[in-house]
Amino acid sequence: MTRDRLKNRRPTIYDVAKHAGVSPSLVSLVLQNPVRVSEKRRNAVQAAISELGYRPSRAATTLASSRTKSIGLVIDDYRNLWFVDLLRGMESVLTEGGYQVMLADSRPGANRISEAVDGLLAMHVDGLVIAAEPTLSMLTGAGVPTIVAGWRNGVPEGMDLVTNDDDAGGAMAAAHLLDLGHTRIGHLSGSGGAAAHRRAGFTGHLREAGVEVCVVGEAGGTSEEDGYESARWLLEHHPDTTAIFAANDTMAVGALGAIRVRGLSVPHEISVIGYDNSQLAKSRYLDITSVDNRSDLVGIEVARRLLARLEDPAAVPQRTLIDPALMVRSTTATAPSSSAQPSSLK
């Protein structure tokens, strides 16, 4: 039996079994848990699937087992490029196990995260990844294994958490600017756990060196527009600023816009550092110095942890920190000579 003979109908699991010379139950086992099948018979089934163009019914698979082979991912802003690498890292692990990721954006509206979680649970996902600011009830009452990705406010100790070491990343950015001789420094921040840790690491390292930093926007958002407005305010009220550290690359792009409008040059008159090492920072045109938070590795570890939690729901929760790295590019340079004396920005 070939694909041509089945062109007027969809091939079934029975067609695959007949073509491979095995039982339908063995085909089902290959689809659900291929490692339990010998390589020879697994290859025969997979060859038959490929030749016949068979696509398993997710509904049938769900009925045949207690799992839907789907994972829910809740993010808080689809414009934040951090989620792109996070998702890519997760999928690199989950697809090998036959899982698909179902994405929900919780950005619009105060109750959207609750609605996003409820929507995913209504679709009977096997597990949840929360990459947004959750409530305690979402973390403890979901009824499925739940992993938190990235620093989030109010996450209890008894939760699995995988995140970049944002405190260390913020300190890296501060150390880089100090090494370049900058002492009149501003920080564009935002609300949320990740921004808070980046802010703490950055300001803490500078204060240990005796340098005060002007923090702007810590109660606001972290979009490009937020970065533009915060940088505009900073440069208007502290025109002697020679370096800006933004909470993410998107805000850094906004800061570059505000700097251009003011007629300043980067990096000769003012240096800019972003965070996330996103495609924006890597682009040859922007070429932004940025802290690499290795969100792809965060995604890989999140997926591994979730699969382990599915196999052993009683496993002890863990907190994993992924080490960051500073990627120096063309938006940072030695401080202008006129900035040699520390300032006391408040």
Q: For residue 270, what is the DSSP state?
A: -
**Which of 129-138, 270-279, 329-338 shows the highest mean pLDDT?**
270-279
Phi, psi at residue 216, to the nearest 5°?
Answer: -125, 135
Average pLDDT score, the chain: 88
Q: Helix 24-32 crosses helix 39-52 at what angle (to 10 degrees)?
A: 90
Task: Decide which of 140 and 230 is more confident.
Answer: 230
- How sure is the predictor about 178, in pLDDT bands with cuts at 50, 70 and 90? very high
Q: What is the residue type of 103?
A: L
Query: Could you tell me the pTM of the whole model?
Result: 0.74
Identify the band that residue 340 occupies on the pLDDT scale cut at 50, 70 and 90.
very low
pLDDT at 185 exceeding the cut of 90: yes
Sign of CA dihedral 46, 47, 48, 51: positive
pLDDT at 62: 52
Tokens of 67: 């799992």
Tokens 């959207």, residue?
A: 112
Burial classification of residue 336, based on how many CB atoms lie within 10 Å of its CB (0-12 exposed, 13-18 middle, 19 or more buried): middle
CA distance 118 to 145: 14
Q: What is the pLDDT of residue 344?
A: 39
> Is 67 a residue whose pLDDT tops 80?
no
- Burial zone of 301 (CB within 10 Å; 0-12 exposed, 13-18 middle, 19+ buried): buried
Cβ–Cβ under 8 Å, residues 211 and 178: yes
Quickly state the pLDDT bin for 226 (edges 50, 70, 90).
very high
- Measured between alpha carbons, how far is 29 from 217 in angstroms, rounded to an integer? 54
Residues 15, 1 contacting (CB under 8 angstroms): yes
Which residues, listed in sequence order, are joined to residue 22 by a DSSP beta bridge?
none
Cα 321 to chain centroid distance, Å, stands at: 13
Q: What is the CA radius of gyration of the chain?
A: 25
- What the block records as the tokens of 202 is 């950055």
The model's pLDDT over 41-52, given as tens digits with 9 standing for 90+, comes to 889 999 988 888
Confidence (pLDDT) at 60? 54
Residues 6+ apart with CB under 8 A from 62: 68, 69, 124
Q: Locate 221 and state its tokens.
A: 């958002």
**Cβ atoms of 188 and 244 closer than 8 Å:** yes
Q: Binning pLDDT at 50, 70 and 90, where does residue 345 land?
A: very low
Which pLDDT score is estimated for 113? 76
Whether residue 35 has pLDDT greater than 80: no
